A and B are shown apart, each in its own frame.
Chain A
């Protein structure tokens, strides 16, 4: 949905580099999520946020950190990228818990 945007759309980086993926939404939703997609593994939850002051770890948070700068912005950081973090990353939003999730277009990250 155009209401959820992600930057960059593609990124190639080297092992050990710090990288930030950004997500913005104009849907006015409180809840935001970061997922990672790997072939054959579906989507796995990295972090989620219920509002600016409420951030929670998901299934696979090790090696990642997040920042909820405003209701509309949720950033994912890799402090020191490693090759097995090569994946497709999606941001999503929802109005309330259990509601429809609206996904951004994704960021394809390659760590060499």
Chain B
């Protein structure tokens, strides 16, 4: 069945270091979304990627969608303590979203 794998599960960084999380799908996706969940909170939408090879930026965050539309990455440049949380990718196919298991980011000040 459809699966979306996400790595790493955890990442601990010093403030100012970069961070990247990766998602891989077992099948081609219609689109992929990224969500952030703060500790004790609910997932909040960050961005959606639709096109093959698409790259989008939001300030220090860079999102990429692979050429085959099966993988995606989120890169944060120069992390800040406000970046703490769990980042999820969600691949859309067959009328459903398939969430990755998430990457929990901890940033030490």
Q: Which residues of A contact B (CB under 8 A)?
A: 33, 35, 40-45, 48, 50, 56, 58-59, 90, 92, 97-98, 100-106
Q: Contacts of A56 on B, CB cut-off 8 Å? A: 95
Ranked 7 nearest A-B pairs via Cβ: A42-B101, A103-B42, A43-B99, A42-B99, A98-B92, A100-B45, A103-B43
| Bound complex: CA A106 to CA B40 (Å) | 9
| Bound complex: CA A48 to CA B101 (Å) | 20
| Bound complex: CA A104 to CA B42 (Å) | 7
Q: Contacts of B45 on A, CB cut-off 8 Å? A: 100-102
Q: Which residues of B contact A (CB under 8 A)?
A: 1, 6, 9, 30-31, 33, 35, 41-45, 48, 88, 90, 92, 95-102
Interface of A is mostly: strand
Which of A40, A43, A92, A100 counts the most B-chain CB atoms under 10 A from its CB? A43
| Bound complex: CA A50 to CA B98 (Å) | 17
Q: Contacts of B92 on A, CB cut-off 8 Å? A: 97-98
Q: Which residue of B lies closest to A31 (CB)?
A: B95
Q: Contacts of A58 on B, CB cut-off 8 Å? A: 96
A43 and B9 contact, CB distance less than 8 A: no
Which of B9, B97, B99 counts the most A-chain CB atoms under 10 A from its CB? B97
Q: Contacts of B95 on A, CB cut-off 8 Å? A: 48, 50, 56, 97
Q: Contacts of B33 on A, CB cut-off 8 Å? A: 100-101
| Bound complex: CA A41 to CA B100 (Å) | 8
B97 and A101 contact, CB distance less than 8 A: yes
Q: Which residue of B lies closest to A104 (CB)?
A: B42
- Shortest CB distance A98–B (Å): 5
| Bound complex: CA A29 to CA B35 (Å) | 19
| Bound complex: CA A101 to CA B100 (Å) | 15
With A42-B6, A100-B33, A100-B48 known as contacts, the answer to whether A90 contacts B43 (CB < 8 A) is yes
| Bound complex: CA A41 to CA B4 (Å) | 11
Q: Contacts of A97 on B, CB cut-off 8 Å? A: 92, 95
